[in-house]
Structure 1
Amino acid sequence: MDRTTQAPVMNRPQQAVVLAAGRGSRMGHFTDDQPKCLHPLAGRPILEWTLQALKASGITKVLVIGGWQATALQPWCDVLRVHPRWAQTNMVRSLMLAADWLQQAPTLVVYGDGAYGARALSAALGESPNDVVVPVDTCWLALWSRRFANPLEDAETLVRDGRRILSIGQRPRSLEEVQAQFMGLLRLTPQGWGQLQQRIHHIAADRGEAAVDRLDMTGLLSAFVTGGGTLHAVDVPGGWVEIDSQNDVAAVERALLAPEFSHDFRV
């Protein structure tokens, strides 16, 4: 009898959820009247760079979760939802507002305070049959060294065996504990979102809803792995930046003047 092997479904997202609810207090007065994602970087709002790269990468639908000064986001959004408790909660609660999107189709979750280039997103969207996938920056140290005198002060652990992530989101004691860096991206199939939802419900039942309010993304991913979930990495060699402060803005603007900046998001 002839046998045929069916190729695995690669679950490439064609929709994205951008999490942009926070004020960005470390930006000071620069976010008094606008969300951090609209701060200019290399001549354009941070969010514009990312939306442009999403479109170039084949993402056809984008939902933005706003909070602080959310009305300023309306000209940039296909679909905008406002998180009413953005000031009292962390990133996971923003993600939960997109539950209906996450249940419908494979989705790329994107942090609003990162400027992502098409090259980075193309790598992040590379083939993977897995349900919960974390694009990770393998060149992270080149960027963190420009942002911080001691990169370990801000980096988080990420230890893996091949593509499988074994631990994530802790404070590192050495560079060996940071094999790559979380870059504010997460790929979920509907099944993967269901698995994360189960972990969120477990946390709420065990520690209360306030614990979910405080939960950031790497905290959720860490709890997911600890609870037996399977988390896979996709390697991304730079091509993006994270903006947390005016120091980051200045460091990135300087780096863009240097030749062959590994994290040039304009490419």
Structure 2
Amino acid sequence: MSARQAVILAAGRGTRLGPLTADTPKPLLPLAGRPLLLHTLDALAAAGIETAVVVVGYLGDRILDALTAAPPPGIGLRFVRQERLEGTARAAALARPHLSPGPFLVTWGDVYLDPESYAALLGAASGSDGALLVNPVDDPWAGAAVYVDGAFRVTRIVEKPPRGTSATPWNNAGPAVLGAWLWPFVEALEPLPRGEYELPRALAAAVEAGRTIRAVPVAGAWFDIGTPESLEAARRYAEARRGGKVHP
């Protein structure tokens, strides 16, 4: 059964963006004349997602105001607030009471993707416990190294591996299709030294326990918008796509 529901993690501060997020939450930063979050919602709706739970935190009222004033067509929205920013696993768990039984797609409010990636992710999850979007990099030391077998099933996820130690080019790109099987792994997490509970660690534990997760290479562009430089690169790409200079 294909997922028709999504969770969007949009609670973070975006400290590396400096003054750009002093008064604007990161998911509302503009790309090609529209907030990043609206690009994501459009892409999810185009891929077949019908409802989304948006987890807000930092400047969350701005996000609620923006989406209630001009709700995106084709997708129903619910909002939950993460009062204490305790990491992405705790944020995802807040959406749990609002999810129907069955699979769900989770994505980050600061990731910009072409719509084709979401469609590919949803398609690959059929017949498996889930699917994880991955992107090729020279060295996944800054994210999470994703190891796969010959059938492109995830065999191991290593968070923040030391530079030069990974034997895989695949990095955890963030978005994933998951199921209710995830929650025991979230509940079993230990906090990181900074007090946060991170969703990729729960996913790594699930893989280790034998859950079948398919790796899905990014289709088209992928931008993790965490710095002014990555924001500017995403803006240039979004403008080119809007102007017809980039084709799916």
User: TM-score w.r.t. structure 1 length?
Assistant: 0.76
State which of 30, 33, 37 in structure 2 corresponds to 1:40.
Answer: 30
Partner of 2:200: 218
State the shift of 1:102 in Å.
Answer: 4.0
State which of 132, 137, 145 in structure 2 corresponds to 1:134.
Answer: 132
State the shift of 1:67 in Å.
Answer: 0.3
How many residue pairs get aligned? The number is: 232
Report the AA paired with residue 204 of structure 2.
S
Structure 1 residues 82 and 256: alpha-carbon distance in aligned structure 2, compared to 1, 3 A threshold: closer
Aligned-residue RMSD, C-alpha:
2.8
For residues 170-198 of structure 1, give each alpha carbon's deviation from its aligned partner in whole angstroms, at most 9, with x where no partner exists. Answer: 31544863332222211123xxx2x2222
Report the AA paired with residue 19 of structure 2.
H
The answer for unaligned runs of 5 or more in structure 2 is 69-76
Q: Give the Cα separation in 2 of the matches to 1:48 and 1:211.
A: 34
Report the AA paired with residue 84 of structure 1.
E
Partner of 1:71: 61
1:158 pairs with 2:149: no
More helix per residue:
1
For residues 65-85 of structure 1, give each alpha carbon's deviation from its aligned partner in whole angstroms, at most 9, with x where no partner exists. Answer: 000010111132621111111
Structure 1 residues 16 and 258: alpha-carbon distance in aligned structure 2, compared to 1, 3 A threshold: closer
1:115-126 to 2 correspondences below 5 Å: 115-126=112-123
Aligned residues of 1:152 and 1:175 also touching (Cα < 8 A): no
State the shift of 1:199 in Å.
Answer: 2.0
State which of 2, 20, 40 in structure 2 corresponds to 1:50.
Answer: 40
State the shift of 1:244 in Å.
Answer: 0.6
SS in 1 for 2:37: helix
My pick for the range that moved more, 36-45 or 12-21, is 36-45
The answer for unaligned runs of 5 or more in structure 1 is 1-10, 142-149
Structure 1 residues 155 and 199: alpha-carbon distance in aligned structure 2, compared to 1, 3 A threshold: closer
For residues 54-102 of structure 1, give each alpha carbon's deviation from its aligned partner in whole angstroms, at most 9, with x where no partner exists. Answer: 111121111100000101111326211111112xx11000000011244
Name segments (4+ residues, structure 1) moved above 4 Å: 150-153, 209-213, 254-259
